[in-house]
Amino acid sequence: MKNRLLQKPLKKCAVFSALSLFAVVGGAYAHNNKVHSPWATMPGNAGVNAHASAEVKVTGVVTDETNLPLPGVSVKIKGTTIGVTTDVNGKYFLNADDNATLVFSFVGYTSKEITLSGGRTNYNVQLLPNSKDLNEVVVVGYGTQKKANLTGAVATISGTELQNRPVPNALAALQGVSPGVTVTRSSGQPGSEGYGIRIRGFSSANTASALILVDGIEQDLGLINPDDIESISVLKDAAASAIYGARAASGVVLVTTKQGKAGATKVSVSGYYGLNITARQPERLNSWDEQTLIDEARFNATGAKEFTDEQKQWLQNPNFDYRPNIAGQDRWDYYTNTNWIKEGMNKVNSMKSFNATVSGGTETQNYLFTAGYYQRDGVLRYGPDDNSRYNIRFNFNNRISKYVDMNTIIGYIGTVTNSNSYGTSGIINALYRIRTRQALYTPAEDVTGQPYNGDLQVNPIDIEKNAGFQQQQYDTFTGRFDLGIHDIVKGLRLNLVATRNQDYYANETDKRSLYWYGRSTNTVRFNANVPNSLSLTKNKGHHDNLQALLNYDITVKKDHNFHFLLGSSFEQYRQDEVTAGAVNMITNDFFSLNYGDQATKTNSDDVQTWALGSYFGRMTYNYKEKYLFEANARYDGSSRLAPGLRWQMFPSFSAGWRINEESFLKNKLSWLDNLKLRVSWGQLGNSSPLGLYDYLAIQNSGLLSTSPNLVFNNLKTQYLYQSKLPSSNLTWETIQTENVGLDVGVLGNRLSFSGDYYIKYNKNMLAQLQLPDIIGIGTSFANVGELKSWGWELELKWQDKFRNGGYNIGFNLANNQNKVTKYDGKSTIGTGGVVNILEGYPLNTVWGYKTSGYFQTKEEADAYKAGTKYAFSSITSAPGDVKYLDLNGDGIVNAGEGTPQKPGDLVNLGSTNAQYTYGINFGVNYKGFDISGFFQGVFKRAFLINNDTLDPLVQTANLPWTIHMDRWTPDNPNAFWPRMYQTGTQNYQPSDKWTQDGSYIRLKNAQIGYTIPFNKKYVKSMRVYLSGQDLWESTKVLSVFDPEVPNDVTAGTYPFYRTVSFGLNVTL
């Protein structure tokens, strides 16, 4: 094909660049070695050359703030390069002049100087950690900055805040930790939890996931081991994230992994074992109560019940469970009572995680190696339902010469998710939909040879055990090589960075055929997975990134500090996928393409590619670190856009004023440590809704497994079709962000406050236009909307120490609101429900009718309905039916013209967007004990439950649950649920009655730990802890659903769980 040929030179180009880069790296290294040994001049190794004259032997132990020995501390004689480092036990030996000054320094700790005197030779020194806030260095886009000098909105989260939580991954641990950072999940299924992260609410109506870079490599944070993380920076505003241009609109999350430190080899291991306890799930009725509701529903709808009173008696009779069908059918009739949920789901499941870290090295060469394992079982009682993950990471920093250093990171992540080939949600749905009067097993007299009964519905237990499995394996290898060349000109640094993320995905689905017979094998009552089938998907992807970064620091006239960054990057992605399938295996127990039916084998391939070219720069300037200014710009070009529309510039500007540095405050208010005002403006791009080739009219093949089939001439036949119109002039969404922020630190920075207010304008939001259906085809995205979103966030922290301990308490609160200001003039609310994009309203608004309880008498219903029709149904209303209000008094409860201007009787009942999200955390440690707790919640949210799930018997198989027993009957006039009614939706229209109040507060995590005092010689530290996740919540959401569920939750949703875990951290 022509296209494939065209691609080749392009691929070569990228490969060539990568090779060149490595050639540079290698060359520099080799060259250095030839000249002279690179180590000789390195200060850290000076101990080897230490020489002395008229000197004393000085010795001592360096300890940290907890009085533990601190190895690897650099001890230097001031004004020389002579020095040593402390050993494993924190000890040092040094020859020095008897009046020399020693400088003790260690990363993360405040340096200390001691002048020798009086011939004393023993100096024990305690180093204290850097004052956290102001001197802290924060990771920002393509570099680091002193926190004090930041002008953008950047939240930093230390790795320790995420540790020891029994959560599946790093993303899960982030929830509620920082204001404005919302973590969502859609399911409790192992490996398919559906975690998402949203920073500062919505910037767009489209999926706008934050750009997540782990050591500069775009990766799924959901796969990262929380234990590997040193720190996380969340870039929230344009000032901070404009350097990432077209992909930064939803915020950027920069994850930095732990690095090796100079010092003796340090080994630490940790692990936990946890129990997941299913929380808030629907419960089934016993068979006679279930039958009561079924009969009520049938009687109300048709005038006839399904069962006679005698049959209902049989259900309650424990000695009468089945009989041969006396209507002469080849079946058994069942009158038993099976607790399907208990039979099919475990209430308690286990999870475990183990990690080991080894690190060590010198100032010039150090390393850190970690390995982690995580595993979690799911709720299904039988068969495959679990997820496991392996993380390995090796970080190696090597200072090759005075001018050259080379940092290498190599990582591997492997995950395996096992599930049932029938589909986990299909099984859970079946457990909720099968009649409780159906027995689990066939009667003893049954001659079909099948143990499991599938008379009325498919048997979910048989499916769990025997329907085959699906295994998804994902392996990703990442490498990052960063060659730094610096100080050839003073203050100038060049970094050449190459990264690759190469991944492999494999999916195997083996569908075993199952049959359920009547009383003889002549009658197949039901079957599943017929014919049996195998499908395989394999893909290989690689994501390359080449960067060149030039940094230049210069100070002019002492007080004018400049920093310049100039960079370019080229990224490309390619994924090759092949899928193959076969049906009708020779045996039901062996699955290989080799044994499939030749005539019906399927295969297909899919290649996905994109490329992104970028140039970017940053200038920061400050005067006496008092007045701060920063400008960023990025110029991006993407393959996803039509030629001619590919390149766009994204600028930002920001400024800061450190008021506390002003002479009128400095040293005058001793309690004021920090007072900073920040403002920023910038434009960011969002490209996540862009497809790969949206500007082309693609012809799809009818032979793909996803396409419906066509038969001609007794053969599966090809057809070609276009599924959507091309969008030839679409471009990035441009989101303009304005931010103003205030940082305050007082009382020795024990109390700190940070607040931000922001406004974001999405000036050309991509959306699929709401068009009349006469268009007859799907449409691509087009830049047709405008969205304004705004909000504020604040964080308040207090931390203090007391004798033998300390404590901290923190509170954060964020509010985000948005409004669609333009949507090509067209909006529809249809007949109610959740409307995603509606001009003049926030995204995802809920629309429904107002209700006023139930009709209590026939007279009441008749009188009301005589003057008020329901447009959604002509079913005659009866006692126990919902009374909908005719708000506009036109005699009919309807949706008017379906527009917000003429909504009939529909009203806006809120939005599914969480508003006012908050987190509260506290911690105390005393001697060896520590206790911490973390609450998290949402003050305002509305959502709907899927109507098929809410409305019992809307389809015959949608059975009622225990909650539905509280239904309207003449004896229960104040019921929660309306009268039962088969296949009628009239009582379950979107309305205030059914809109869920999604506000909640929940104890997200609580921990209690104890650090066991050991002889430091053998064990440096050992902590045991008990940790609980999602232990408690308070909410008004319908009791059988978790408050964190997404809108339109269904019965098949995998339940969420509470976790209690026991863990151990040991450092040797």
Tell which positions 5-34 bind other proteins, by CB under 8 A: 6-7, 10, 13-14, 17, 20-21, 24, 27-28, 31-32
Nearest CB to other proteins, comparing residues 330 and 1048: 330
Q: Is the peptide bond before 531 cis (omega within 30 degrees of 0)?
A: yes
3-state secondary structure (DSSP) of residue 453 = coil
DSSP class of 661 = G
Give, rounded to a whole angstrom, the gap between the first and last alpha carbons of the chain: 60
Site residues (CB under 8 A) for other proteins, limited to 631-670: 637-639, 643, 646
Enumerate residues 6+ apart whose C-beta is below 8 A from 810: 795, 796, 797, 798, 919, 920, 921, 922
The contact mask relative to other proteins for 542-581 (x = CB under 8 A, - = no) is ----xxx-x-----------------xxx-x---------
Q: Answer yes or no whether residue 696 interacts with other proteins by CB under 8 A.
A: yes
Beta strands 154-158 and 869-870, pairing class: unpaired
For other proteins, the binding residue among 103, 416, 698, 1026 (CB under 8 A) is: 698
* Closer residue to other proteins in complex, CB, 92/288: 288
- CB of residue 860 vs other proteins: minimum separation in angstroms? 19
Residue ranges in 748-777 that form contacts with other proteins under rule CB under 8 A: 769-777
- Min CB(1037)–other proteins separation in Å: 26
Q: Please provide the DSSP assignment of 978-1024 as one string.
A: ----TT--GGGSSBTTT-EE--EEEEEEEEEEEE----TTT-SEEEE
| For other proteins, the closer CB: 412 or 719 | 719
Output the smallest distance, CB 778 to other proteins, in A. 9
CB of 1046 to other proteins, least distance (A): 21
Q: Interacting stretch for other proteins, rule CB under 8 A, among 50-58, 385-393, 520-528, 1037-1045?
A: 520-528
271, two tokens: 């692990």
Question: To the nearest whole angstrom, how small is the minimum distance from the Cβ of residue 325 to other proteins?
Answer: 7
The least distance separating other proteins from the CB of residue 309, rounded to whole angstroms, comes to 8
The helix (H) or strand (E) run that includes residue 26 is helix 2-35
Nearest to 783 by CA among 821, 825, 733, 819: 733
Task: Identify residues 816-835 at the interface with other proteins (CB under 8 A).
Answer: 826-831
Query: Which of 638, 932 has the CB closer to other proteins?
Result: 638
Kindly state the smallest distance separating residue 712's Cβ from other proteins, in Å.
5
Please state the closest distance from residue 423 (CB atom) to other proteins, in A.
Answer: 16
- 48, 444, 556, 715: residue in contact with other proteins (rule CB under 8 A): 715
Q: What tokens does 309 get?
A: 């009173």
**176 three-class SS:** coil
Strands 211-214 and 252-257: parallel
Complete DSSP assignment for 179-242 = TTEEEE-----TT----EEEESS-SSSS--PPEEEETTEE--GGGS-GGGEEEEEEE-SHHHHG
Q: Find the binding residues for other proteins in span 967-986 (CB under 8 A).
A: 982-983
Q: Which stretch binds other proteins (CB under 8 A): 163-171, 399-407, 733-741, 742-750?
A: 399-407
Smallest separation (angstroms) from other proteins to the CB of 826 = 6
Please select the residue that binds other proteins; options are 870, 918, 934, 1000, rule is CB under 8 A.
Answer: 870
Rounded CA-CA distance 818/821 in Å is 9
Residue 849 lies near other proteins (rule: CB under 8 A):
no
> Nearest distance from residue 420's CB to other proteins, in Å?
20
Helix (H, G, I), strand (E, B), or coil: what is residue 27? helix
- Smallest gap from residue 829 Cβ to other proteins (A): 8
Q: Which of 526, 552, 564, 629 binds other proteins (CB under 8 A)?
A: 526
Q: How far is the CB of 326 from other proteins (least distance, A)?
A: 4
Per-residue contact string for residues 772-811; x = within reach of other proteins by CB under 8 A: xxxxxx-x--x-----------------------------
Q: Treating both helix axes as pointing N-terminal to C-terminal, what angle do 287-302 and 309-316 enclose, rounded to 10 degrees?
A: 160
Per CB under 8 A, 447 contacts other proteins? no
Q: Which of residues 476-515 bind other proteins (CB under 8 A)?
A: 485, 488, 494, 496
User: According to CB under 8 A, which residues from 890 to 919 bind other proteins?
Assistant: 892, 894-895, 897-899
Nearer to other proteins, 115 or 523 (CB): 523
User: What SS3 class is residue 948?
Assistant: helix
Q: How far is the CB of 166 from other proteins (least distance, A)?
A: 42
- DSSP state, residue 693: S
Q: Annotate each residue in 29-68 with x if it binds other proteins (CB under 8 A) or - if it does not, as one string.
A: --xx--x---------------------------------
By beta-carbon proximity to other proteins, the closer residue of 310 and 445 is 310
Residue 776, class by beta-carbon neighbours within 10 Å (0-12 exposed, 13-18 middle, 19+ buried)? exposed
User: What is the Cα–Cα distance from 289 to 167, expressed in whole angstroms?
Assistant: 39
Q: Which stretch binds other proteins (CB under 8 A): 179-187, 281-289, 708-716, 1053-1061?
A: 708-716
Q: What is the CA angle 439-441-446, rounded to 5?
A: 110
Complex with other proteins: residue 50 or 578, whichever CB lies closer: 578
Span 279-338, contacts to other proteins by CB under 8 A: 301-308, 310-311, 325-331
Residue 946 near other proteins by CB under 8 A: no
Q: Which is nearer to other proteins, 103 or 607 (CB)?
A: 607
Under the binding rule (CB under 8 A), the answer on residue 876 touching other proteins is yes
Tell me the two tokens of residue 259. 């690095």
Distance of alpha carbon 580 from alpha carbon 718, whole angstroms: 17
Binding pattern for the stretch 599-628 against other proteins, x by CB under 8 A and - elsewhere:
xx----xxx-xxxxx-x-------------
Residue 503 CA to residue 540 CA, distance in Å, equals 6
Q: What is the nearest approach in angstroms of other proteins to the Cβ of residue 782?
A: 6
Which residue among 50, 506, 530, 796 contacts other proteins (CB under 8 A)?
530
Residue 708 near other proteins by CB under 8 A = yes
**Which is nearer to other proteins, 197 or 514 (by Cβ)?**
514
Q: Least distance to other proteins from the beta carbon of 720, Å?
A: 4
**Of 32 and 425, which CB lies nearer to other proteins in the complex structure?**
32
Among candidates 736, 634, 640, which has minimal Cα distance to 689? 640
**The two three-digit tokens of residue 480, written as one number:** 């990052």
194-198 CB contacts, 8 Å cutoff, 24+ apart:
195/168, 195/169, 195/171, 195/222, 197/171, 197/221, 197/253, 198/250
- Look up tokens 């539905």; give the residue: 964
Cα torsion 967, 969, 975, 979: sign: positive
Which residue, 4 or 557, has its beta carbon nearer to other proteins?
Answer: 4
The tokens for 538 are 């394999």
Give Cα separations from 388 to 417, 469, 570, 948 (angstroms).
7, 16, 34, 33
CB of residue 600 to other proteins, shortest distance in Å: 6
Site size with other proteins, rule: CB under 8 A: 135
Binding of residue 747 to other proteins (CB under 8 A): no
The Cα 467–Cα 505 span in angstroms is 23
413 touches 372 (CB < 8 A): no
Shortest distance, position 608 Cβ to other proteins, whole Å: 9
Structure tokens at 946: 């899927």
